[in-house]
Amino acid sequence: MAKSKAERLQEALDKIDEGLSELTVIADEVEEARNNMQGTNLENTERYQRYDEAADTLRQASDDIESAKGDAEGVEL
């Protein structure tokens, strides 16, 4: 039996949650790596800057996805 549109939507939302969880873990790991460089001679390196930018970008992407997910959750089928 074919799944209903509502069931498929819920499955998609669940997958979004899984992706958001993984993005959060990665952002946390990048931030930790960046924070471990603070106060050392690595703080003024290109790598530190890349980690800093990556952490910000991952957090912003996560926020954007969370907002889009909220929009999709409001869909009534």
For the stretch 3-9, contacts whose Cβ atoms lie closer than 8 Å and that sit 24 or more positions apart, written own/partner, are: 4/77, 5/77, 6/77, 9/72, 9/75, 9/77
pLDDT in the model for residue 1: 82
Say what the pTM is: 0.85
> Which is nearest to 20 in space by CA: 53, 61, 57?
61
User: Taking each helix axis from N to C terminus, what angle separates 5-37 and 46-73, rounded to the nearest 10 degrees?
Assistant: 160
Q: Which residues of the chain have pLDDT under 50?
A: none
pLDDT in the model for residue 77: 86
